[in-house]
Amino acid sequence: MFTLTAKPTTKNISLLFIAAFAIRALTFYFYVQHNERYHQPDSADYHNGGITMAIGAGMTKLPSGQPVFWRTPGYPLYLSLFYTLYGLRSGAFNDNMPAQKAALWVQLFLCSCIPILIFFLGLSLTGLLNIAWITAWISVFHVGLVLSSVFLLTEGLTLIFFYLFLIFFYKSFACIGEVAHTNNSWKKHLILAGIFLGIASWIRPMGEFVSITAALLLLLFAQDALKEKLKKVGLFMLVFYACIAPWYIRNYQHTGKLFFCPMFGTYLNAFVAPKVLRSLHNVPLEKTWRYLQNAAGQKAMAELPAVRAQGKFLVPEHVALSVAWPIVSAHPILALQAWMPEVFKTAFDLYSYQLIALANNIFMSDPLEEFLGDKIKATLYEKPAPTWMRLICWVDFIFTLWLWLSLFAGMCIFWIMPLFKRFQVNAATKNMAGFWLKTAFLSAAVMFMTGGFGYARLRLPVEPLMIITALTLYCVPWRKKE
């Protein structure tokens, strides 16, 4: 009989997978596959990359042959396998529906393994079966994880490798109350962590930022002398950058510049600098956005002849950065005021808003600006939706409210109250405070990087960390006296 203290067996792990697959398959079969609901704003980019890779042109734009730098090739390569298998009907998105649906069926099957990974992540972090099982079963029904598996987007497949990275990375130093590694097992764990973060970065280019955050975590929290910490950081970073080095080489050969993915320039020029100019000149956002897009386009055209004369390709995103950066750096407070609301939107947004967008046929493109309060109201009552969908939205809202209230309560108990007690608290409370720091640091860093344009789905990589951390407030006997 299954209990929250049951050890993992083939039977109960299989049940976890079967339940996850059933939920995702039913969601896709009865709803998402119809009317191309799996076609999200970024899906066209991955489709185009899949087309060019299927015909042997690599990650390029047709017919110009300009290399694509904005996207990494992992997900387009995955799609290209199905375009090759089914045969390309044309370059149009909706002409290749059979191949896309086949890719999504395989994707949701693979993503049904995510609750299993989350179980082992919870077990690795806490050593407690009850927390591991609760978190895993939450992930079976989690709206964000279900939808990420059935959209033509990178999140679903990325999460598989990112959660593997988290498992092995956190295994390389202390769990709650004990050291998680023995002898030299940290080497194996960090090598695997670097490999899985590298694979995740080929699909979704977030690894460079995460690797720096992970290195800081090792320096701050690994229970070793500084020399040993530096060895750990060096090993992890070496493995990670070795994994993604081929894309650096490809980009350098095309442009003469060393970079992995130039997303920062586009984010600043499209989302941050326009808001800075709006604040400075009190003009509509649409006008400042159009002005900066035109400025970047004109500068790119001016630089293009010199770049071509060197036998290289222009990187439009670098040009966008050169336009946006003087504005952003000259007004850092205004830039931060533009950045942080999007971070908060990532942190507190509801995953179920995507269902409302599907129900109201507003999922094919994103507006220039969204507001968190408006999205929550639309999710809970303003926008029309079927009764079953509205019920899911309210469950998602209640769960998100519980999660954040639990996290805020834990911060007060483990970080703020010890200040008033001059840190005269028992060892269990101190240990819990350290654990919360280890998970909060990475969670906050991942959400902070989404300040260009925030979505709930952008916090999916760290959502299990947040749930596991919140559950320790209830499931770990941290109140015990010494």
What residues have CB less than 8 Å from 112, skipping those under 6 apart? 17, 20, 21, 24, 149
> Tens of pLDDT along the chain (482 residues)?
578 889 999 999 999 999 999 999 999 999 999 999 999 999 999 999 999 999 999 999 988 889 999 999 999 999 999 999 999 989 999 999 999 999 999 999 999 999 999 999 999 999 999 999 999 999 999 999 999 999 999 999 999 999 999 999 999 876 564 444 445 688 999 999 999 999 999 999 999 999 999 999 999 988 888 999 999 999 999 999 999 999 999 999 999 999 999 989 999 999 999 999 999 999 999 999 999 999 999 999 999 999 999 999 999 999 999 999 999 999 999 999 999 999 999 999 999 999 999 999 998 888 999 999 999 999 999 999 999 999 999 999 999 999 999 999 999 999 998 888 776 788 888 888 889 999 999 999 999 999 999 999 999 999 999 999 999 999 887 665 44
- Are 367 and 471 contained in the same domain? yes
The answer as to whether 36 is a domain residue is no
Closest residue by Cα to residue 139 from 147, 129, 128, 151: 147
The answer as to whether 241 is a domain residue is no
What does pTM read for this prediction? Answer: 0.95
> In angstroms, rounded to a whole number, what is the distance separating the alpha carbons of residues 411 and 145?
26
> In angstroms, rounded to a whole number, what is the distance separating the alpha carbons of residues 62 and 60?
6
The answer as to whether 482 is a domain residue is yes
- Pick the last residue of a domain from 300, 330, 360: 330
Closest residue by Cα to residue 345 from 271, 265, 437, 441: 271
- Are 311 and 447 contained in the same domain? no
- Are 398 and 378 contained in the same domain? yes
- Are 384 and 460 contained in the same domain? yes
- Pick the last residue of a domain from 54, 87, 111: 111
The answer as to whether 161 is a domain residue is no
CA 430 to chain centre: 30
Q: Which amino acid is at 118?
A: I
> In angstroms, rounded to a whole number, what is the distance separating the alpha carbons of residues 414 and 24?
37
| Range(s) of the domain holding residue 96 | 42-111
- Are 317 and 446 contained in the same domain? no
Q: Which residues pair with residue 431 across a beta bridge?
A: none
CA 454 to chain centre: 11
- Are 273 and 364 contained in the same domain? no
- Are 365 and 305 contained in the same domain? no
- Are 401 and 267 contained in the same domain? no
Q: Which residues pair with residue 384 across a beta bridge?
A: none
The answer as to whether 187 is a domain residue is no
Contact yes or no for 52/60 (Cβ under 8 A): yes
- Are 290 and 404 contained in the same domain? no
- Which tokens in the block code for residue 122? 């919870």
- Which tokens in the block code for residue 349? 């947004």
- Are 354 and 439 contained in the same domain? yes
> In angstroms, rounded to a whole number, what is the distance separating the alpha carbons of residues 275 and 409?
34
- Pick the last residue of a domain from 57, 91, 111: 111
The answer as to whether 429 is a domain residue is yes
**b/e 34-58 (16+ beta carbons within 10 angstroms → b):** eebbbbbebbebbbbbbbbbbeeee
